[in-house]
Amino acid sequence: MPVNMMETDDRVEATQGVSVKVLNPNHPILKDIDTRWPRFLGYQKAFPKEGSEVLAEIDGDPFIIVGDSGKGRSMAFMSDLAPHWGTDFVKWEYYGKFWHQAISWLSKE
């Protein structure tokens, strides 16, 4: 993984929702995806490993982190892929495109 996890409870619950700030909209994972993401109701804190790249953040905390891993690639997505924290995310028009591009990049297609 391109991150180090905290040793303690690293959840940030945000019932009011938190905003995603895209840092690299030109990365193949985020290319042609709206930079105005839906709000999330929570995320996990983590620390990027040396050599990784933070593609997006929430309140200064890394949110989407990518890096090389041996002969492959890895990505950390620090929230839910499901409705618990990502209620609006799973309904977002770019949800499928984001995951398609992420999987394509990870598999070096």
Tallying the residues shown for the chain, one arrives at 109
58-103 pLDDT, tens per residue? Answer: 999 999 999 998 899 999 999 988 889 999 999 999 999 999 999 9
Question: Is the pLDDT at 9 greater than 90, yes or no?
Answer: no
Among the residues of the chain, which ranges form H helices? 83-86, 95-106
Residue 108, SS3 per DSSP: coil
In CATH, 3-106 is 3.40.50.880: yes
Strands annotated E in the chain: 3-5, 11-18, 21-22, 40-44, 46-48, 53-58, 61-69, 72-77
pTM (predicted TM-score): 0.93
